[in-house]
Structures are given as C-alpha cells and as structure tokens.
Structure 1
Amino acid sequence: MYSLNLDTNAFLTNYWQKKPLLIKNAFPNFEEIISPDELAGLACEEEVSSRVVITKGNDWQIYQGPFEDYDKFGNSHWQLLVQALNHWHPDSAQFIDAFRFIPDWRFDDLMASFATPEGGVGAHIDNYDVFIIQGEGQRHWTVGEKGQYAAKNNDPTTPLIEGFEPIIDVVLEKGDMLYIPPGYPHQGQTLTTAMSYSIGFRAPSQQELFSALADGLIDSNTGLKRFTSTSEPAIANQVSVSHQQDMMALITELASSPDSYQAMLGSMLSQNRFELDLCEPDESYTADMLIEDIEQGAELNRIGGLKMLQLENDSVDRIFINGEAFEHSANIATDIALLANQFSFDSQQTQKLTQNEDTLTLILTLLNRGYFYLG
C-alpha cells in the first residue's frame, strides 16, 4: 500500500496548477513499483510504448522501442522510458490510487524511467501537470519560473529550451516527490543509476474540444441550424460585425447546451492515449458461467488504464467507458457508481453486484470486451 504524505486539500488550494512544490519523503518507506529488469522486459513488447533517450552534449537522441538489448547504449548518458506502466503492470494500481484526489478524467498515465548516470532530456516545458517520484538512486532536478524561453538552437520544433534560473534546485532521493504545473521549465539529470516515476494529468485544449464537438455533431447528424439575419451590409463584399457575431453565437448556443456537449465530453475524456492491455476471454462468458465462477470465489478486476466516467447532472443515465457511452436503467445507478469508483471487487462484492440482472448484463459485456477480468 502506498501512503502519500501530503495534505491534499492544502495542496489543491495553494499549489495545484499554480506553482511547483517539492515534497521530501512524500512516500515514506517507498517500495519500488517495478524492477529495472521487469521494466526492460516490458520495453521488449511491441504493444508497449517505450523509448531510450541518449544525452549528447547540448542535444539528445531518441530511439523508439521495442528493444532487443541495451548493451549498445553503454553505461551512462541514457535512460529508458516506458509509458502507461499502469496498463501492463497490475501492481501499479495501488500507487495510482494515492493520486485519486485529482479526478480520473485528468489522469493520463504512469511513466517509469530507468536512468544511467548523466541521463536526462535537457531543459524543457510540458503542457500538463506532472508528479515526479524518485525510486532507487538519485536525480538532480531544477525547476524555473513560468515565462518566455528561447527554443534550443533556435529550433521551433524542439521541446527543449536554452535554459532558466532555478527556483527549485534539489537532489531527489527515494520517496521524494516533485510537482510541476504546466508551463514551468524543468530539467532532470541522473547522478547515480536510478528508477523514477511520473504521474501525468492532462486537460483538453480548445482545438481538441472543437474537434471533438464537430465529430460528435457529424456522427449524430445534429447541429444543423443555419445562420439567419434580419439586416444585410450595404457593401456587398463585406461581412458585417453583426453577422460575424451572430455566426459565432451559433457555436456558443451549442456549447451551452448539455444535449450537444455531454456525450462529446464523456466520450473524449474517457478515451486513453495509450493502448490498453485487453483481457478478452477465450470463450465468451454467459451469466451461468459467471455466477458459477463467483460462487467458487472469483474476484472482479478492472484492467489497468481503463477510464469509467460519469457526468454530473447527465441528461441520460449512462456511463462512459473507453470513449463509448453505455446507457443503463436508473435502478442500478448505485452499482454503476461503484463500478466506476473501484478498481477491484472481492468475491462477496462481485456476488452482490451480479444479483441485479441489469448490472449482471453490463458486467458480462465488460468481461467479454476484455475491460474486466476474473481473478
């Protein structure tokens, strides 16, 4: 069990998306989530998103996984990064649970890093919130103030920047944690062979929201209302200010209507950027098979990374799972909330859930899609 040594209410009030924070001994007696050998083995798999970053003077080079061996990289100046560890390593679920004081829809992934001395990616700026937790070894981190920074080597395509004056300058040791909000420059350099972990939280951009809204309107064949006017400009080649404003008001009208945006938000926010490790059964479950397994002590588990979201004041009784809406009867709302809030259920909890036929039907669907599995 991972216990986070942090006043979460004070953190959300004073630091979340406002300013960086160093938390020494954030995880007392921190236990490594995964061993370096296990991490290297995961990076050999085609489905797993991994990369090796090699530090080269003022620059770096990236090799995308999967990897067959690591000998060619030497003993220093590189690190292995594995994205979405929580999808492939069930033991990481307890660690992620320590961060659920932030809503599930924001959660992106758990990234694990094995780094050799002098390994790092240089000074850069991210557009998401990140918690960096140190495992074995030591890494030196600096964090700068938010501001305008020149791109490295004047290259507009690189995420690297020329440098910054640190407002945090620290060597992270086992169990220490660093929180960095979007827009703050930071840099990590490995001092001794080290393991570290990054918990990322993202929010949609205006581009993503507009794109998802447009896709949703097209898919549902809605949003067909056209612009109309009561007056026309005197100059034929001119688009009047009132026409401009009234056209944009059509978009505002859609954005203020829950019927237009709720399905879009639920679908978009429940999707995952990384591939899921689906556990589809060899033979589709039937109700009788499931009940028999439960009577023999089977437990119900959600696969890593699967998002199950509900919208407050939703206009429809439904839950969004991996980008899809599942409508349900109002009489199982309590069961649905429980399924969305917990990652696993013991045999007694599972048996209780399946006593309602509608809940049983949904669980069968989730099992046969590989979203849940019995253990």
Structure 2
Amino acid sequence: MYQLTFDINEFLANTWQKNPVLLRGAFKDFVDPISAEELAGLACEEDIASRVVNTTADGWDVIHGPFEDYSEYGEQNWQLLVQAVNHWYPDSQPLVEAFRFIPDWRFDDLMASFATPKGGVGPHIDNYDVFIIQGEGERRWRVGDLGNYQQRDNNPDSPLIEDFEPIIDEVLQAGDILYIPPGYPHCGETLTTAMSYSIGFRAPSQQEVVNELADYFIDNNLGSQRFTSNDEPSSPGVVSTSHQQGIMKLLAELANNPQAYQTMMGKLLSQNRFELDICPDESITEQELIDALTQGATISRIGGLKVLKLEDDSAQRIFVNGEVFELNELNAETLTLLTNQVSFTSEQALALIDAEPQLQTLFTQLLSQGFYYLAE
C-alpha cells in the first residue's frame, strides 16, 4: 500500500495546476512497484509503448521498442521508458490508487523509467500535469518558470526546448515526488542507476472536444438548426457583427444543453490513449458468473480502465472505455459504487446482485467484453 504523507487538501487548494513543488518524503519507505528486469520484459512486447532515449554528444536519440537487448547502449547515458505500465502490470495499481484524489477522467497513465547514470530526456515542456516519483537511485531535476522558450535548434518538430533558468534544482531520492503543472519546462539527469515513475493527468483540448462533438452530431444526425436573423447589413459583401455572433451562438446553445453534449463527453473522457490489456470472455454466462462468485472469485477491472458517470446526467448510465451502458434500473448510489470501486469481492458482488439483479447482466457483459476479469 502506498500512503501519501502530504496534506492532500492543502495541495489541491494551493498547488494543483498552479505551481511546481518538490514534496520530500511524499512516500515513506517507498518500494518500487516493478523491477528493472520486469520493466525490460514489458518493453519486449509489441503492444506496449516503449522507447529508449540515448544521450549523445549532439543531443538525444529516441529509439522506439519493442526491445530484445540493451547491450548496445552501454552502462550509461541512456534511459528506458515504458508507457501505461498500469495497463499490463497489476502490481503497479496500488501506486495509481494513491493519486485518485484527482478525478479518474483526468488520469492518463503510469509511465515507468529505468535510467543509467547521465541518462535523461533533455529539457522539455508537457501539456499535462505530472507527478514524478523517485524510486531506487538518485536523479537531479531542474524545473523552470512559465515563459516563452525556443525549440531546440529552432526545429518546430523537436519535442525539446533550449535550456532554461531553474526555479527548482534538486536531487530526488526514493519516495520524493516532484509535481509539475502544464507549461513548466523541466529536465531530469540520472546520477546513479535509478527507477522513477511518472503519473500523468490530462484534459482534452478545444480541438479534441470540437472534433468529438462534430463526429457525434454527424453520426447521430444532430445539430441541424440553422441561423436566422431579423436585421441585414446595408452592404451585401459584409458579414455583420450580429450575424457573426448569432452563428457562433448556435454552438453556445449546444454547449449549454446537457442532452446535446453529455453522451459525447462521457465517451470521450472514458477513453484511453494507450492500449488496454483486453481479453474478452465471450462464452461466459450469467449462471457461470454466479457459480464463480459462489466459489469465492473476485471481479476486477483490467488495468487502466475508466468507468465514469456524469453528475446530473440526463440518463441513468455509466461510460466504460468510450462505450455507453444504460442502467435504468440501478439507483444512483450503485452507479457511483461502480465508478469508484475497481474490484468487488465475491461477497460484495453477490450482495449487490441480490439487491440489484440488473448487475448480474452488467457484470457478465463487462466480463464478456474483457473490461473486467474474474480472479481467485
């Protein structure tokens, strides 16, 4: 179990999305949730996003996985990064749980890193919030202030920026956490062979929301209302200010109508950027589920799965990995329980099914689609 030592309420009120901070000893007696060897094993897999960043005299080279061997990189100047470790390695889930004081819809993934001395990724800026947790070994982190920074070598395609003046320059040790909001430049350098973990939280951009909304309207033949007016400009080639504002008001009306956007929003926010370890069990029946639970099985979500409900939703439903599950017969408390709890013991599941029979069908459906699994 990973228990944070800092005041979460104080952090949310004064630091979250406001300014970077180093939280010394944020985890007491921190234990790495995964070993370097196990991380290297994940990086062998085709479906798992991984990369090696190799520090060279001219900068940084990025080599994308999968990887079978690391001997060519030597004993220093490189770093292995594996995305969405929580999707594939269940023992990492307790570390993720420690950060669920931030809503699940924002959660992106748990990235794990193995780095040799002098290994790093160079100065860069992220567009999401990140908690960097130091495991075994030591890394030096520098964080700069908000500002306008040139991309490395004036290359618009480079993920790196030119160097910056640090406002934080510290060496992290096991259990320390560095929190960095979007827009702050940062750079890590490995001092001794080290493991570290990045837990990212991301919100959709305006482009993503507009694109998703447009697709939803087209697919469902919605948003057909057209602009009308009572005043026309005296010049035929002029688009008046009132006409401009009236056309854009059509979008504002949709944005203020929950029935127009809620389905789109639930589907968008419940999706993942990275592959999930989905293994469908299409043959399972509702009776087989009851038999398994009676024998002591536990129902658990697969790693990284998002199960969400919208407050004040216009329908009784949950959203799972971009899919909608209508649950008209369930009460609001049970819906909230489904979204908050990642696993159910046999006793809990049987009691819930007894109280809410629709859950037997729902759990069977979630198992058949591979979103949940049965464990002993």
| C-alpha distance in structure 1 between counterparts of 2:57 and 2:9, whole Å | 42
Q: What TM-score do you get using the length of structure 1 for normalisation? A: 0.98
Distance (whole Å) between structure 2 residues aligned to residue 320 and residue 251 of structure 1: 24
Conserved? CA contact 2:146–2:185, under 8 Å: yes
| Residue in structure 1 matched with residue 348 of structure 2 by the alignment | 349
Deviation at 1:119, TM superposition (A): 0.6
Q: Distance in 2 between matches of 1:330 and 1:260?
A: 23
C-alpha displacement of 1:256: 0.7
1:323 aligns with 2:331: no
**2:241 corresponds to:** 241
* Cα deviation 1:48-88 (Å, max 9, x = unaligned): 01111111134211111111111111111111100000000
Aligned positions of 1:249-260 closer than 5 A: 249-260=249-260
Q: Hey, what's the Cα distance between the residues in 2 that align with 1:195 and 1:153?
A: 30
Q: Extract unaligned runs of 5+ from structure 1.
A: none
In the alignment, what sits opposite 2:33? 33
Is the Cα contact below 8 Å between 2:23 and 2:177 reproduced in 1?
A: yes
Q: Compute the displacement of 1:343 (Å).
A: 1.1
| Counterpart in the other structure of 2:215 | 215
| 1:336 corresponds to | 335
1:244-295 deviation per Cα after TM superposition (whole angstroms, max 9, x unaligned): 11100111111111011111110100000000001322x5211111111111
In the TM superposition, 1:1-375 aligns within 5 A as 1-281=1-281, 284-355=283-354, 356-375=356-375
SS in 2 for 1:111: strand
Alignment check: 8 A CA contact 1:300 1:347 kept: yes
1:334 shift after superposition: 2.7
Contact 1:89-1:304 at 8 Å conserved across structures: yes
Task: Tell me, yes or no, if the aligned pair for 1:114 and 1:196 is still in contact at 8 Å.
Answer: yes
Q: State the distance in 2 between where 1:261 and 1:57 align.
A: 51
Q: Which segment drifts farther, 230-239 or 107-116?
A: 230-239
Q: How far apart are 1:325 and its partner, in Å?
A: 1.2
Check whether the contact 2:309–2:335 (CA below 8 A) recurs between aligned residues.
no
Q: Give 1:351 deviation, angstroms.
A: 1.3
Query: Is this contact kept in 1: 2:329–2:358, CA < 8 A?
Result: no
What letter is aligned with 2:252?
A: T
Q: Quote the Cα distance in structure 1 between the aligned partners of 2:171 and 2:262.
A: 44
Aligned-residue offset at 1:105: 0.4
Inter-partner Cα distance in structure 1 for 2:135 and 2:360: 41
TM-score normalised over the length of structure 2: 0.98
Determine the C-alpha separation between the residues in 2 that align with 1:315 and 1:172. Answer: 47
Contact 2:25 2:175 in 1 (8 A): yes
- Per-residue displacement from partner, 1:186-227 (whole Å, max 9, x unpaired)? 000001110000000001111111111111111111100011
Pairs aligned (count)? 374
How far residue 354 of structure 1 moved from its aligned partner, in angstroms, is 2.2
Query: What CA RMSD, in Å, does the superposition of the two structures yield over aligned residues?
Result: 1.0
The aligned amino acid for 1:304 is G
Alignment check: 8 A CA contact 2:272 2:321 kept: yes
Q: Verify the 8 A CA contact 1:335 1:359 in the aligned structure 2.
A: no
- How high is the sequence identity, in percent, across the aligned residues? 60
C-alpha distance in 2 between matches for 1:58 and 1:186: 19
Amino acid at match of 1:143: V
Give the distance between the partners of 1:190 and 1:347, measured in 2 at CA.
45
CA distance in 2, matches of 1:164, 1:331: 54
Secondary structure of the residue aligned to 2:330 is helix
User: Structure 2 unaligned runs (5+)?
Assistant: none
Distance 1:170 1:115 in 2: 17
Rounded to whole Å, the distance in 2 between the matches of 1:23 and 1:57 is 33
SS of the residue corresponding to residue 331 of structure 1 reads coil
Q: Is the 8 A contact 2:142 2:188 kept in 1?
A: yes
1:314-354 deviations in whole A, cap 9, x for unaligned?
Answer: 01001011011111024343332212111111111121122
| Counterpart-to-counterpart distance in 1, 2:349 and 2:299 | 6
Q: Aligned-pair distance for 1:92?
A: 1.1
* Structure 1 counterpart SS, 2:305: coil
Where do 4+ consecutive residues of structure 1 move more than 6 Å? none
Kindly indicate whether the alpha-carbon contact (under 8 Å) linking 1:142 and 1:169 is maintained by their aligned counterparts in 2.
Answer: yes
Question: For residues 85 and 147 of structure 1, what CA distance do their matches in structure 2 show?
Answer: 32
Contact 1:329 1:358 in 2 (8 A): no
Counterpart CA distance in 1 for 2:362 and 2:285 is: 12
For 1:26, the aligned partner's letter is: A
For 2:57 and 2:155, locate their aligned partners in 1 and report how far apart those are by CA, in whole Å: 16
What SS does the corresponding residue of 2:4 show, helix, strand or coil?
coil
